[in-house]
Chain A
């Protein structure tokens, strides 16, 4: 156990001593404040019909704990995922793998470290929630137990669960990187969040956050004070619920959940389940054995591995036998001359080829199918299904933009080449634009043939916006995570659910203002990417 704690401590310190963690805590303070909108705000976070709980300790604690549970379940996963990958990348894993450390020790340490990071964030939410209770002044009597209990019984098990899933995903080669991020988003949306508003009514697939414990209690308290509210019918909503009626919601007094042994047991069961899930990762852990990764690590979508084709498997590949030092080779003085041309096309071609290397023939086959469906299906069907699918299909190729130099350590080679800002960055961006055009271009062709200039503008906005967003996010964060998460959310609410203001691809016809806004955003993001790269070049 001491080893687990020591490993977890080291891992935890490595994460929290980063500048990014400070930013995360800053956002956390803002989020805690936003979770408790004052009276007269145009949104409510936990709405029970046309009412909400009074901001006493029980109400504030439960509402913020609930929201922390929901949002940190999604975002927290992306924050903590990567701990094992970091050990793999930095080489620390090889050192650990050569010690007496057991697999269980390592997995539990990573789980514990993940959970601690998430609980520190939740802890900040708790402190700010207490402060907000006093600031908002609806009930200034601070009851620390009533305030903190929901965090312990609602948020903690959920965070333990998220921490465990992150470890399991990191142990499965196919889910280690971008595909895991996408999978978690869909798990969250379809498996967890879909049950939230109706939690008091029918049973959602899972309830790691404890909605089914809190919301019925809130409904009953509301119904006692406002008899017009009928539990299960009046409607509950958890999240940022913007509406005109939000300004007139009325508070009701609620003294918190009655924590029966059954309710506590339910939450403890989630914590136990999280532990079991973490332990599930133990047999999947390869102890940083590259050969092990070759045998079982190639993601299915990359097709069958050719021998010696995997990164990090040098040991499996015989070195090219060194020719004797005195062996004849072409004289250096007689090498073909290096003619400089500074043409842009070869660099663009090279960037496209580099991007294409991230895909395989199955990926290409699906992309081609989607392009053809965009060409031949009825336009309504294309807008509803095919176009959104085509817009999400290349997400992992886009998410590599702007940071592949840092990821693979080629930055010193590329940034010391002439004009990296005027040549390499535009070429990388244009490769992303060409990719977007390739997967959705048939749709644009139909629009052009039909003379639908408004929709064509929407398509153009998307084709410019997505690579700009990917590039800027990659350059500034040095990772593809932010783009993957933010783009998934945007795609889900925009092109897929047709929220006009967020439809960056022009799926909803006629939203000209939104199209122009996205073109402007694309240009702003491109400028941001330039600024970020210029900063990197200054060292």
Chain B
């Protein structure tokens, strides 16, 4: 199982460049695709899901060009788009039946799988309720269930945890971690904690380009010794932000405790702290924007 994205560009009408010669090879495991809003993540996801054609470049699934042979990937694809809808007058069960039929699954086997998936996404008790009455989180869980209907070898989930409450978010992360075997999972998000929890590999994308590709461990190791914690008076925070990349702040009685990414200690009383993945992501983006190697 291998997905190869080779020099893919996408230019929308009006000359908007969503992707610029983006390249990546993805094997079994969970790839976390991180990037700011408008980085091109959803465009890339739609291209991989065969919904959008790239302007240039090639995407291949196990050697098959997915633009020329979209069904090669559609047969093994599970896709949870960032924005999707449901038929409001159908129940969760009926809707999943419908999607299963569209995916060409055998009805009897599909029904068993639907029942089990509804239990997994915690909608067993709501299976016969019309979807029109579902909350955003419940609809999202229906979306997760439909993506897993055909036991996909390639699972693409685009901002999957938006609208989920913290417990359901943890549940979803557990589900992704449990996915067995040789499948390729691409998790696109801007929520670093989601990626931190499940990804075996991380790709950072900005302005349609690949900024960095590394394992979470490598990203963290690259930042080791460059994250500092210090307390500054509230009035000095703006100056600190001007001089350094401030990755987090919290108010305290004696001022503001700040986490700073810097090559050297930003102040005499600053102490080094272990970096977080979010800081590694911010650092990679900042370096790329400054023209330094990310």
Contacts and interface: CB of A to CB of B under 8 A. Distances in A.
Note whether A and B form a binding pair: yes
B132 A313 contact: yes
Contacts of B224: none
B84 A332 contact: no
B122 A329 contact: yes
Given A325-B167, A338-B113, A423-B104, A410 B87 contact: yes
Question: B53, B85, B130, B133 — which one has the most chain A CB atoms within 10 A of its CB?
Answer: B133
A350 B101 contact: yes
B129 A341 contact: no
B90 A354 contact: yes
Contact of B149 (A309, A329, A338, A414): A338
Interface residues on A, range: 35 or more
Interface string B115-137: 01101101101100111111111
A354 B96 CA distance: 12
A320 interface: yes
A417 B104 contact: yes
Given A314-B134, A316-B133, A539-B51, A354 B150 contact: no
A416 interface: yes
A336 interface: yes
A335 interface: yes
A295 interface: no
B116 A335 contact: yes
Given A311-B88, A353-B94, A409 B122 contact: no
B179 A417 contact: no
Contacts of A308: 129-130, 133
B87 A354 contact: yes
Interface in A329-357: 329-333, 335-343, 346-347, 349-350, 353-354, 357
Contacts of A424: 102
Nearest to B129: A308
Interface residues of B, number: 72
Q: Is the interface of A mostly helix, strand, loop or mixed?
A: loop
B83 A332 contact: no
B87 to A, nearest CB: 5
Contact of A418 (B71, B109, B120, B146): B71
B189 interface: no
A311 B74 contact: no
A538 interface: yes
Contacts of B171: 322-323, 325
Contacts of A40: none
Contacts of B105: 338-341
A408 B75 contact: no
B102 A417 contact: yes
A366 B119 CA distance: 39
B44 to A, nearest CB: 13
Given A323-B122, A341-B105, A539-B51, 8 more contacts: A314-B136, A331-B178, A332-B148, A350-B102, A354-B87, A412-B49, A413-B79, A418-B103
Interface of B: 46, 49-53, 70-71, 74-75, 77, 79, 81, 83-90, 94, 97-107, 109-110, 112-113, 116-117, 119-120, 122-123, 125-126, 129-138, 143, 146, 148-151, 165, 167-168, 170-171, 174-175, 178-181
